[in-house]
Structures are given as C-alpha cells and as structure tokens.
Amino acid sequence: MNAAPIITIRGLHRKFGDIEAVHDLNLEVARGEIFGLVGPDGAGKTTTLRITCGLMHATAGEVRVAGHDVRAEVGAVKDRIGYMAQKFGLYGDLTVGENLRFYADLFGIDKQQRDTLTPQLLEMTRMSPFVDRHAAKLSGGMKQKLALMCTLLHRPEVLFLDEPTNGVDPVSRRDFWAILYQLVHEGMTVFVTTAYLDEAERCDRVGLLHKGRLILLDSPARLKNSLPLACFEVRGDDLRSYREALRRAANVEDVELAGSSIHAFAPQGTEEAAIQAIVPGARVRRILPSLEDVFIATVRREENRAA
C-alpha cells in the first residue's frame, strides 16, 4: 500500500432523523484491492456505499474517490466508478444486447469502442449466446452478470458492488468472483458489501460494520488470529446439554451453535482438558476460529460493552 489510496473516507457520519446510520467511519482502500464491507443487515453498509458513490450526501465527513471529492466533483467521480445496486435495475423487456447498448450510450461511449468492448465482456462472462434474450428471462446468476457488464462498459477504475450475489446460486457465485478476480488482475479496485462471510474470506481486506461503526478492519487471515479468545469445537450426541453446561461454566466466555457442533470461546491459554472437564462425554478440539466466529464474537463483545 505504498501508492495513494483510491478511496479515502474520513470522519464519515450519516444521520436519518435521529438514527445514526454511520458513525465516524474512517477507511482507506488501496488501488487494485478487493475490499469487503461486512456486517449484519441494517449495519449501514448500503448507506456507506451510496455516500461513497455520490448517490447520497454525508451528514459530516469527507470522501474522496479516485482523487476527487464525491460531494464537490460528483461528475468526475461518476465517470470513474461503476456501481451495481443491491437490486440492479435491468430493463426486463429489453434484450441483453439492448440493455448493454442503453448503458453504453448513457455513458457516452462511442460506437467503435462499444462494438469492441461488448463482445469482450460477453466473452468474459460467457453470455454471448444470450445476447438476444430478454433480460427478464435470464436466471439470477445471468442477470447478475449482465448487471456487472453494464457497470463495466465505461471501464471504471473502481467498482462498487452492493451485495452482488444475494440470491445467486453457489456455482454462479463462484463464476462471478472469478470475473472479479480477473478485473482486479487488470488493475481495477473492487469495493463490495456482503452479508456472506465465505465471500468476505475472498477479499484482500474486510471491514466489519456494526450499528454504523467500523469495529474490525484487516485481512481475513490476520483477523482470524486477532481474536483474544481460544476457540474450541465441541462435538457429541447431546449438544443441548453440552451447551447448557458450557454456558454455566465460569471460564467459558461465549457459546455458539455451529451446525452439528458447538464453538466455545475461552480466554487465550485455556487448555483443551479444561473444556473437556466441563463436558466429559463430548469430543473437544481446539480450532482456528473462522471469520464468522471472529465476527460473531466481536459483535457479541461490542453488544455486551454497550449493555
């Protein structure tokens, strides 16, 4: 991160009436980075994204994108960014080709450039066979790809994606991320919000937003090691009674169900044997926490502190 950051957010506040959607947000995103903004619904992800794209004004604070202030030079910013809204608006009664052409013309792309770029994009997204199909008749994954193409037509420097793979099947999601990696490889910066933590793992850096505050910010690998708690996986036949026992235990800070096992969090340095002693019948194993564990534990601690 030696080059100047492409996105700089300083002291960002946004209020909706009395509700503070974003509180004192500070963030920098480097050129060529995939940055993921993660958080539960209502944490302020979409608001932050909209302000950064110049769609909404901040109550206070400064946002610069690609060297321009989003408030003062919104036109310059819009020329350099692509934005894909949560519910991307495609014209269902226009074909794939017509949707592309419409957005290309709105961005003022000349005909020659459009005619070389469109086949490239269709190729990259493997959408060439569907160019004459009405957008309404595409599958969820294909709609997503078309939306992405529409935002890429003017070759933006930064791509903003608001929960791009919501409601898209896992295979299409993987395809979608493969395209994003390719774009980043070509030099684009990607700023994505998501509620899926497996997607967050794919980012270079993630920020966790909780009630409008950025409470974590680092690479996924470092975040997993940053938790000041040890994580133990507890498996066995009687999960319910294990959970009760663990909750009552004084040296266990938090207990979470994780599918067919339980994750118990205890202060660093706690031995497996100490946990085993609480639940004698179970299989106990110390594990590296997942991003999900880190986020849930952090959110929980944040809530306890507030209470």
Partner 1 sequence: MNPARVKEIVRKEFHQSFREPRLRAMMIVPPILQFLVFGFVVNLDVERSRLAWLDQDNTPASRELRAAFEGSTYFEVTHTPATQKALEDLLDRDAIHSGIVVPPQFGEDLARGRATSIQILVEGSNSNTASIIANYVRDVVRTFSAGQLNEWVRQKRAGRPGVIRLNAPGIDLQQRVWYNPELRSRNYFIPGVAVNIITLVTLMLTAMAIVREKEIGTMEQLMVTPIRPSELMLGKTLPFALVGLLDFSLIVALGMIVFRIPFQGSGLLLLLGAILFLFSTLGVGMFISTVSHTQQQAIMATFFFFQPAFMLSGFAFPIRNMPEIVQWITYLNPLRYFITICRGVLLKGSGLNVLWPEYLALAVFGIAIMSFSASRFRKRLD
**Counting contacts by CB under 8 A, is residue 303 touching partner 1?**
no
Please give the residues from 14 up to 73 whose contact with partner 1 meets the rule CB under 8 A.
Answer: 53-57
Per CB under 8 A, the list member of 85, 122, 161, 206 interacting with partner 1 is 85
Question: Which CB, 70 or 216, lies closer to partner 1?
Answer: 70
Please give the residues from 180 up to 199 whose contact with partner 1 meets the rule CB under 8 A.
Answer: none
Give the C-alpha separation, 97 to 135, whole Å.
Answer: 9
Per DSSP, 58 falls in state -
**Counting contacts by CB under 8 A, is residue 132 touching partner 1?**
no
Judged by CB under 8 A, the stretch of 106-114, 174-182, 275-283, 285-293 that binds partner 1 is 106-114
Per CB under 8 A, the list member of 127, 149, 150, 208 interacting with partner 1 is 150
Q: Which residue has the tokens 């003062």?
A: 72
Per CB under 8 A, the list member of 35, 103, 177, 295 interacting with partner 1 is 103
Beta carbon of residue 138, minimum distance to partner 1 (angstroms, whole number): 14
**Counting contacts by CB under 8 A, is residue 90 touching partner 1?**
yes
From the list 93, 106, 99, 102, the residue with the least C-alpha distance to 125 is 99
Beta carbon of residue 225, minimum distance to partner 1 (angstroms, whole number): 38
Question: Which CB, 160 or 232, lies closer to partner 1?
Answer: 160
Element containing residue 244 per DSSP (H, E): helix 239-248
Please report how many Cα atoms fall inside a 13 Å half-sphere around the Cα of residue 16, on the Cβ side.
8
> 211 by DSSP, 3-state: which?
coil
**Starting from the edge strand earliest in sequence, which strands make up the sheet with 283-287, in order?**
254-258, 261-267, 229-235, 283-287
Per CB under 8 A, the list member of 30, 94, 195, 258 interacting with partner 1 is 94
Per CB under 8 A, the list member of 93, 132, 186, 237 interacting with partner 1 is 93
Conformation bin of residue 32: beta by default, left when phi > 0, alpha when psi is -120 to 50:
left
**Counting contacts by CB under 8 A, is residue 108 touching partner 1?**
yes
Contact (Cβ atoms closer than 8 angstroms) between residue 35 and residue 205: yes
From the list 160, 154, 156, the residue with the least C-alpha distance to 51 is 160
Residues β-bridged to residue 266 = 230
Contact (Cβ atoms closer than 8 angstroms) between residue 12 and residue 51: yes
Question: Which CB, 108 or 259, lies closer to partner 1?
Answer: 108
Q: Which residues bind partner 1 (CB under 8 A)?
A: 53-57, 75, 78-79, 81-94, 98, 102-103, 105-108, 150
